[in-house]
A and B are shown apart, each in its own frame.
Chain A
């Protein structure tokens, strides 16, 4: 049986993350409004297999990088932005893993420019939520299916 994670649980995890590190609360947003420009994902291996993806706009990624590293947006390097967005996926993924069947392990985050490649015939979405923060949308998607470091399915 496929474990499903409630959208409210994803919003709760993301809410804790935003309030802990990003200063200003993120609000729930409508799914499907985002054209991802940068995505990060972590895969879960073990009793449950799948991938957690965090996607946002380029500006959303810059805002997160600036807030986490406390440096102006125009001083951020590509590495800074990838690091910050990767850490979002790491934290969301780790907390999602904690509510799924275990034991399991978590991969290091992988950052992609654009969307994460997903074979939708082999993987299914079991949880999804969107947030808005400083006018930018962040979508979190939990895929269940064969996982790899480059994506799912």
Chain B
């Protein structure tokens, strides 16, 4: 399975990429929501649309919430599971993200186990499958 990690921090993309690779994912990444939409277009053309996207909230150019809304507005991306991974932890923001179409919400700092648990809940765990 392929995953797309979207975060403006290279360090965070590295951490999440490492965790997802250990879970058996092939990982692509993008530095903001617009780059991620461009990446999805390219991956779709290659027949490699990701099963999962991990999405930061605060990013330049296009933030994570806008990206979630964009993806959910496009039927061709309906199969992509969206997980917000962000420092934003106010209840209202979590509600907004889930209402926009995010399936799960993880607050930074997270552990590798926390991500693995969420993947298992979403039926996306490949390690113990």
Contact = CB atoms under 8 A, between A and B. Distances in A.
Interface of A: 16-17, 20-21, 65, 68-70, 79-80, 83-84, 86-87, 90-91, 93-95, 97-98, 102-104, 106-108
Contacts, number: 66
Would you call the interface of chain A mostly helix, strand, loop, or mixed?
helix
B11 A108 contact: no
Contacts of A65: 11
Interface in B13-45: 14-15, 18
19 contacts: A16-B109, A17-B109, A21-B109, A68-B14, A69-B10, A69-B14, A70-B18, A80-B11, A83-B9, A87-B11, A90-B58, A90-B108, A91-B87, A91-B108, A94-B86, A98-B89, A102-B92, A106-B58, A106-B87
B62 interface: no
B110 A108 contact: no
Interface string B98-120: 00000000011111000000000
Nearest to A17: B109
